[in-house]
C-alpha cells in the first residue's frame, strides 16, 4: 500500500476550491436581487433611501438549526479553519457560544463571526433604569386566582418610547443567575431604537408581535417580523428594533436551554412547524464610526456602555446559533377527525425543554384557523386543571373559548391546578351546536406560553390592566345532573 501525501493534499485543495465555488454561487444567487452585495459596504444605511432599499431586498436562509454560512463580501469566510493568522479583509474572528464547549454535538450551538472590530472594545458599564423589567421573582406576588388583562396601552406621540423602554414584565419564575426558569413580558412602543442596541445575557427571547411590524437589525443580518409571525433572538446576540409607528406584542424569555422543534413521533416526518419554513438572515454589515449605546440585560438589570462605532459590523459568519423568524400561517395543524378535543400540545410550534424529558420550561402553542369535524363531541376546549402554568395571548380576533373580554393584545394566566375552561356562553354553544364540519374563525389567532413553573405576578401586572370581573364568566354555569335521567345535559334537562 502506497500513501501519496502530496496527491492527497492536491485533491483536498481541489475539493475545497470546488466547495468554495459552490458556496459563493449559492450566496450570490440568494442575494442577487435589485440590491447588489456592494451596496452593503461602507455606511450601508447612511440614508433613509439606503435603508428602505436594504429592507426591501432581504434574503433569508431556510431551515431550523442548520449549519449556515453566509458572507456579505465574497471570500470573507476563511476556508478550512476558523481562526487564521490573518482573516480575509483584515477582519477579526470572534466566536459566540450558545452552549458550553462540551455540550453534546447534537445540542451544541455556536457561531463564528468575522467582524470589523471585536465586541470587547466598549466603554465602562453603567447601571441604568430598568423600567418595568423584572427578573427576581422571589420578591413578586403569589396570585392563585385566574387572571385576565387588557392590552398594554400604546404610547401616544407625546410619549416617544422605543422597544426596550416599552417592556413590562407580567410574570415569571426562577432566576437568570441560575439559568433556570422563564419570564413573560409585553411591550408597547412607537419609535425606533436610535443608535441603541440590546444584548441579553439572561436568556433567549421569543417575540410575538400583535400590532405593528418590527424590523430587527442583528449581528447576523436583518429580519422583519409582522403580526402573525414570530422571531427568536438568542442569548448574547446584539439587536436593534426599528418600528414605523405604534407597536405592541409579547415576549417569552427562557433562562435555560434553547427553543427546538417538538418531536413528531407517530405523526411522521412532516407536520406542525416544518423546518424549511424557518428563516435566518444573511450577512449584512455597517462600517460606520459613530456613537452608539449598547444596553446589556444582566440578571434582570440594565447596564449601558458607549461604543464608538456600529455594533452591526459582521461581514461574514458561519454556525448554527443565529436569530430566526417563522410565519405562523405555515403551521400545519393536526386535529381529531373522529371524536373528542385533542390536547393543546398538538399545536406546539416550539418547545424549550427542562432536564426532565417531556416537561417544558416553555412550550409555544398556537390556536390557528382549522377545521373541526368531531362527531358526538364537545368541540370547544374542555374544562381543565393543569400541572403546568398557562399564559395566553390573543393576536387577532376572538378566541374560541372566550367570547368576551379577551381582546387582541390582552392576556390571561391560569396557574397550576387552578380550574379553567370555556365560559358559560361557549359551553352553551358547544353543547347545542349542530355537529357539521365547521372551520374556526379564519381571522382569529391566539397562542399560549405553557410552562412547568409556577409563576409569580409582578406588582405592575397585579395592579394594572386587570379585569376584576374575569371569573364571573363562569358564574352562569349551573348543574345539569339528574340521577333519574341518563340523557340529562344542557338542552335535555
- Taking the C-alpha atoms of residue 324 and residue 68, their distance in angstroms, rounded to an integer, is 12
Give the pLDDT score at 50: 52
Asked, for residue 17, whether it belongs to a domain, the answer is: no
> Binding site for Fe cation: what residues are annotated?
384, 390, 420
From CA 364, how far away is CA 308, in angstroms rounded?
Answer: 38
Residues 223 and 262 in one domain: yes
Q: Judge if 107 and 247 occupy the same domain.
A: yes
Q: Are residues 306 and 235 in the same domain?
A: yes
Residues 357 and 428 in one domain: yes
Residue entry with cell 463571526: 113
Q: From 309, 328, 347, give the residue that closes a domain.
A: 328
Same-domain check for residues 231 and 117: yes
| Shared-domain flag, residues 335 and 259 | no
Question: Which of 311, 328, 345 marks a domain boundary?
Answer: 328
Do 276 and 380 fall into the same domain? no
Residue 222 shares a structural domain with residue 367: no
Query: What's the predicted TM-score (pTM) here?
Result: 0.88
The number of folded domains in the chain is: 2
The answer to whether the beta carbons of residues 362 and 356 sit under 8 Å apart is no
Instruction: Answer yes or no: do 253 and 377 share one domain.
Output: no
Residues 70 and 173 in one domain: yes
Do 263 and 412 share a structural domain? Answer: no
pLDDT at position 187 is: 98
pLDDT on residue 48:
46
- Name the binding residues: 384, 390, 399, 420
Note whether 315 and 408 are same-domain residues.
no
Q: Is residue 183 part of a domain?
A: yes
Cell of 313: 459590523
Does residue 481 belong to any structural domain of this protein? no
Domain end point (choices 279, 302, 328): 328
Task: Tell me whether residue 463 is in a domain.
Answer: yes
Structural domain including 278 reads 58-145+152-328
Annotated binding site for homogentisate: 399, 420
Q: Residue 39: count other Cβ atoms within 10 Å of its Cβ.
A: 15
Domain membership flag for residue 113: yes
What is the block-wise mean pLDDT of the chain (493 residues), using blocks of 10 residues? 37 39 38 31 38 81 97 97 98 98 96 98 96 94 96 96 97 96 98 97 98 98 98 98 97 97 94 97 97 97 98 98 98 94 94 95 96 94 95 93 84 96 91 93 95 98 96 93 88 56
294: domain CATH number is 2.60.120.10
Residue 376 domain-assigned (yes or no): yes
In a domain, 355, yes or no: yes
3-class SS string, the chain: CCCCHHHHHHHHHHHHHHHHHHHHHHHHHHHCCCCCHHHHCCCCCCCHHHHHHHHHCCCEEECCCCCEEEECCCCCCCCCCCCCCCCHHHCEEEEEECCCCCCCHHHCCEEEEEECCCCCCCCCCEEECCCECCCCHHHCECCCCCEEECCCCCCCCCCCCCCCCCEEEEEEEEECCCCEEEEEEEEEECCCCCCEEEEECCCEEEEEEEECCEEEEECCEEEEECCCEEEEECCCCCEEEECCCCEEEEEEEECCCCCECCCCHHHCCCCECCHHHEEEECCCCCCCCCCEEEEEEECCEEEEEEECCCCCCEEEEEECCCCEEEEHHHCECCCCCCCCCCCHHHHEEEEEECCCCCCEEEEEEEECCCEECCCCCCCCCCCECCCCEEEEEEEECCCCCCCCCCCCCCEEEECCCCCECCCHHHHHHHHHCCCCCEECCCCCEEEEEEECCCCEECHHHHHCCECCCHHHHHCCCCCCCCCCCCCCCCCCC
Show which residues are catalytic.
341
Q: Is residue 479 part of a domain?
A: no
- Nearest Cα neighbor of 210 from 244, 166, 169, 251 is 251
Q: How far apart are alpha carbons 188 and 185 in whole angstroms?
A: 10
Amino acid at each position: 500500500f502506497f500513501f501519496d501525501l502530496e496527491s492527497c493534499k492536491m485533491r483536498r485543495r481541489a475539493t475545497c476550491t470546488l466547495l468554495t465555488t459552490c458556496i459563493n454561487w449559492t450566496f450570490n444567487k440568494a442575494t442577487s436581487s435589485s440590491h447588489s452585495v456592494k451596496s452593503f459596504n461602507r455606511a450601508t444605511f447612511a440614508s433613509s433611501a439606503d435603508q428602505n432599499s436594504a429592507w426591501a431586498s432581504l434574503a433569508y436562509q431556510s431551515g431550523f438549526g442548520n449549519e449556515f454560512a453566509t458572507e456579505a463580501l465574497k471570500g470573507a469566510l476563511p476556508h478550512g479553519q476558523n481562526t487564521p493568522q490573518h482573516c480575509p479583509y483584515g477582519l477579526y474572528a470572534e466566536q459566540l457560544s450558545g452552549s458550553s464547549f462540551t455540550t453534546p454535538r447534537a445540542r451544541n450551538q455556536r457561531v463564528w463571526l468575522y467582524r470589523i472590530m471585536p465586541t470587547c472594545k466598549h466603554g465602562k458599564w453603567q447601571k441604568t433604569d430598568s423600567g418595568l423589567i423584572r427578573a427576581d421573582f422571589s420578591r413578586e406576588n403569589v396570585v392563585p386566582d385566574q387572571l385576565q388583562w387588557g392590552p398594554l396601552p400604546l404610547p401616544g406621540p407625546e410619549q416617544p418610547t422605543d422597544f426596550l423602554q416599552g417592556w413590562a414584565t407580567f410574570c415569571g419564575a426562577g432566576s437568570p443567575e441560575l439559568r433556570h426558569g422563564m419570564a413573560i413580558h409585553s411591550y408597547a412602543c412607537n419609535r425606533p431604537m436610535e443608535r441603541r442596541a440590546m444584548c441579553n445575557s439572561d436568556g433567549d427571547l421569543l417575540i410575538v408581535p400583535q400590532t405593528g411590524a418590527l424590523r430587527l437589525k442583528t449581528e447576523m443580518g436583518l429580519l422583519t417580523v409582522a403580526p402573525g409571525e414570530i422571531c427568536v433572538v438568542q442569548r448574547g446576540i446584539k439587536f436593534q428594533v426599528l418600528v414605523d409607528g405604534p407597536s405592541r406584542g409579547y415576549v417569552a424569555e427562557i433562562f435555560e436551554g434553547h427553543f427546538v422543534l417538538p418531536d413528531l413521533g407517530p405523526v411522521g416526518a412532516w407536520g406542525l412547524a416544518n423546518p424549511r419554513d424557518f428563516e435566518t438572515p444573511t450577512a449584512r454589515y455597517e462600517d460606520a464610526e459613530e456613537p452608539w449605546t449598547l444596553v446589556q440585560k444582566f440578571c434582570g438589570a440594565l447596564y449601558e456602555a458607549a461604543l464608538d462605532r456600529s455594533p452591526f459590523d459582521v461581514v461574514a459568519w458561519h454556525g448554527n446559533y443565529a436569530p430566526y423568524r417563522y410565519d405562523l400561517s405555515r403551521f400545519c395543524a393536526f386535529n381529531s377527525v373522529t371524536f373528542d378535543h385533542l390536547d393543546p400540545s398538538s399545536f406546539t410550534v416550539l418547545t424549550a425543554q427542562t432536564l426532565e424529558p417531556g416537561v417544558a420550561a416553555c412550550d409555544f402553542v398556537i390556536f390557528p384557523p382549522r377545521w373541526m369535524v368531531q362527531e358526538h363531541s364537545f368541540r370547544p376546549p374542555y374544562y381543565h386543571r393543569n400541572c403546568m402554568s398557562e399564559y395566553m395571548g390573543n393576536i387577532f380576533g376572538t378566541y374560541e373559548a372566550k367570547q368576551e373580554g379577551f381582546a387582541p393584545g390582552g392576556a390571561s394566566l391560569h396557574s397550576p391546578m387552578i380550574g379553567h375552561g370555556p365560559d358559560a356562553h361557549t359551553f352553551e354553544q358547544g353543547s347545542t351546536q349542530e355537529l357539521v364540519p365547521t372551520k374556526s374563525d379564519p381571522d382569529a389567532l391566539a397562542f399560549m406560553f405553557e410552562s412547568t413553573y409556577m409563576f409569580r405576578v409582578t406588582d405592575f401586572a397585579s395592579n394594572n390592566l386587570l379585569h376584576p370581573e374575569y371569573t364571573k364568566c363562569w358564574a352562569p354555569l349551573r348543574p345539569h345532573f339528574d340521577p333519574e335521567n341518563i340523557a340529562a345535559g344542557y338542552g335535555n334537562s
